[in-house]
Structure 1
Amino acid sequence: MTIITAEAHPNIAFVKYWGQRNPELYLPHNSSISMTINSHLVTRTSVYTSNSLNSDEVYLNREKANGSQLERILRQVNYLRAKGEIPKDAKLRIASTNSFPTGAGIASSASGFAALAFALNETFQLNYSPKELSILARIGSGSASRSVFGGFVLWNRGLNDSGEDSYAEQIKSESFWPELRDLIVIVESRQKKVSSAEGMQRTVQTAPNYLKKASEAEVRVRSVKDFLLEKNFEGLADEIMTDSDRLHNLIAHSTPKFSYLTRTSEEIIDAIREFNVSKTKAAYTFDAGSNAHIITQEKYLEKLIPMLKGIPGVLQMIEAKVGGAPRIANQGALLTENGVLV
């Protein structure tokens, strides 16, 4: 049996999705817009299928998944089985590794489920369109719908209960704005205490004015898209920071109260605000984690990097460029032809 291996990159949302109108289908309350990021940030996923396997198996970073973790990872597989796209008697062994911390706010679920969508599409010769691949990726993780594309991506929230109109599409390719950078500032590599799924549910159910803020984010998506197409960095950066503040303010007003930001995260925010006093040259944004993403242009890195390195608690920095779409890899499989973990 041929082992199919796919690679995909994470993305960083400029306007974030946080909360679902349908948790089963990962249908969001608002649209979102993101940049796929490259560098050595990649998820590699290998798929082996055989009628001789007793059950589906999943290995994440060489550890066997069980319980709710296994159930979530197999959502895409079971979705395809329900559609008759995968033979019911075929069982799968899936192995996946990340080159970056899992569960620390660097969108490992986005790259992971995008890679799995591509691997399943190739394994079972589904010939899915980009739209169909985005929907398949979304079944595993909402943000994964955006990592199906390279460059700059808009995920339409959709209105239908079926989810058929909730998918991502590329706005511009990775070559559109090559000077843009995502400087990822690592302050925490451990898995976060409150998962994104739990945090979203808590925020939607308890944060005051949640739906009002989601409506504001929907408007912001249009502004960010316009600034992006104009290559208006200052306008783009201001909107990115406003949206990050919106998200974490909502989280801070959830019950029970929790926060993804640490003291070091707050110091990074203060440092970027000081850096921007005379002109907006960088934007901070935080996903569901304490690690910062600093969106900037290449020409500002020389001053930004030493400034951020000097902040106590900063462990590592990763310079990421605009990244491309997932791909089927010809080497580096995580399983042998007999399905044995490498």
Structure 2
Amino acid sequence: MFSANDFIPAPYSQNVEQGNFQWSAPSNIALVKYWGKKDNQIPANPSVSFTLNNCKTITKLAFAKKEKQDIFSFDLFFEGKPKEDFKPKIQKFLERIEIYLPFLKDYHFTIDTENTFPHSSGIASSASGMAALAMNLMSLEKELNPEMTEEYFYQKASFLARLGSGSACRSVKGEVVVWGNQANINDSSDLYGVEFPYTIHENFKNYQDTILLVDKGEKQVSSTVGHDLMHDHPFAERRFAQAHENLDKLISIFESGNLEEFIKVVESEALTLHAMMMTSMPYFILMKPNTLQIINAIWKFRNDTKVPICFTLDAGANVHILYPENVSETVLQFIQQELVDFCQNGQYLCDSLGIGAMQL
């Protein structure tokens, strides 16, 4: 296991004047939710997520040495156009990680990024975006320090991504990723995500996630504000304990392939996340009427057909429908016949388990 100090590098052995890299990094969907954090993006409870395959950010990083090395210098483009309103978030990220990447002020960076999913689709792009940027910066560090091991490369990338967006650390490597200290999970850490280290049953291979786009508008409460409201939340401590309990349950569920128990944990986690929002002070509701319509339709369909589908939610109105690959045809037919009317402009995205970031 690495500590934060392990990620502060010794002087580099190589000199690199200019170049570019390109990485893609996926979004992820948490099964056990992270809600509430301490200083420096440390989670108040552990989480585990499925890595997605199709919903991803592709980021190209070009860099060139500059003479004045007193400030961070970068241009940011989103889908080919300057993206000034996102620059403060990148600036803050660079300030946070400078101690771990001391070369950052030596270069002028051009960051060119795009998503494979529709912009403002209500899918969290901060996780995929920060993971993709972290991978590119680590590629530059590896040029400066070619002796770096692969394990160190990926763990430090996850560590850096976390400092940009907490859940981004789960988008670096692995199909099922754990973030946060959990007694029964080897090498789990609050500092970065790790691949789930135990047996995963065939039932979960190539698991499907169809994302119903209920509301593509901007959330009225940001995730950052929501996390902060857990500090004085009356139910916070019990919630944090529940997350540990549910993660323990998933260890045996993943091994046995018990879809019935999987559904109970995943849906309970989704509803608990939103219960925390509804019982904070100030309180807020991110679900929409159509979110509830979809949930009720899923429950009825599952009850009537015994098809093992379930829902989960992020901090928003959209619904992720999770199901095994072998029932895909039946589930997609159900979505098209009964759920598509609840989606904004009839939009939904089909995704499945992925493996993490990839260099392009």
Show CA shifts across 1:120-167 (max 9, x none). Answer: 1112325443222211111111111111113111112489xxx97522
Q: Where do 1:172-183 residues align within 5 Å? A: 177-183=204-210
SS of aligned partner of 2:342: coil
Deviation at 1:233, TM superposition (A): 1.6
Deviation at 1:66, TM superposition (A): 3.8
TM-score normalised to structure 1 length: 0.85
Query: Structure 1 unaligned runs (5+)?
Result: 330-342
Counterpart of 2:192 in structure 1 is: 167
1:313 aligns with 2:342: yes
The equivalent position to 2:270 in structure 1, one of 244, 251, 254, is: 244
Q: 1:21 is aligned with what amino acid?
A: K
Q: Distance in 2 between matches of 1:297 and 1:18?
A: 27
Structure with the larger RCO, 1 or 2 (CA within 8 Å, 6+ apart): 1
Check the 8 A contact 2:208/2:352 in 1, yes or no. yes
Q: Distance in 1 between matches of 2:35 and 2:121?
A: 16
Counterpart of 1:27 in structure 2 is: 42
Q: Distance in 1 between matches of 2:309 and 2:249?
A: 18
Deviation at 1:60, TM superposition (A): 3.0
Change (3 A) 1:64 1:195: farther
Q: What is the count of residue pairs matched by the alignment? A: 321
Counterpart of 1:324 in structure 2 is: 355
Counterpart of 1:340 in structure 2 is: none
Q: Distance in 2 between matches of 1:226 and 1:105?
A: 32
Check the 8 A contact 2:200/2:257 in 1, yes or no. no
Deviation at 1:215, TM superposition (A): 1.4
Deviation at 1:31, TM superposition (A): 0.3
Larger Rg over CA atoms: 2
The equivalent position to 2:225 in structure 1, one of 198, 204, 221, is: 198
Counterpart of 1:121 in structure 2 is: 138
> Structure 1 or 2: larger helix share?
2
1:43 aligns with 2:52: no
SS of aligned partner of 1:184: strand
The equivalent position to 1:144 in structure 2, one of 131, 150, 168, is: 168
Counterpart of 2:13 in structure 1 is: none
Counterpart of 2:290 in structure 1 is: 264
Counterpart of 1:334 in structure 2 is: none
Check the 8 A contact 1:104/1:192 in 2, yes or no. no
The equivalent position to 1:92 in structure 2, one of 104, 109, 113, is: 109
SS of aligned partner of 1:38: strand
Check the 8 A contact 1:149/1:324 in 2, yes or no. yes
Q: Distance in 2 between matches of 1:231 and 1:317?
A: 27
The equivalent position to 2:214 in structure 1, one of 179, 187, 191, is: 187
Change (3 A) 1:71 1:157: farther
**Percentage identity across paired residues of the two chains:** 28
Check the 8 A contact 2:66/2:106 in 1, yes or no. no
Q: Please, which moves more after superposition, 268-277 or 93-102?
A: 93-102
Check the 8 A contact 1:275/1:281 in 2, yes or no. no
Check the 8 A contact 1:102/1:191 in 2, yes or no. no
Check the 8 A contact 2:308/2:323 in 1, yes or no. yes
Q: Distance in 2 between matches of 1:174 and 1:223?
A: 13
Change (3 A) 1:145 1:102: farther
Check the 8 A contact 2:127/2:171 in 1, yes or no. yes
Q: Distance in 2 between matches of 1:53 and 1:274?
A: 65
SS of aligned partner of 2:130: helix
Q: Distance in 2 between matches of 1:288 and 1:53?
A: 43
Counterpart of 1:338 in structure 2 is: none
SS of aligned partner of 2:264: helix
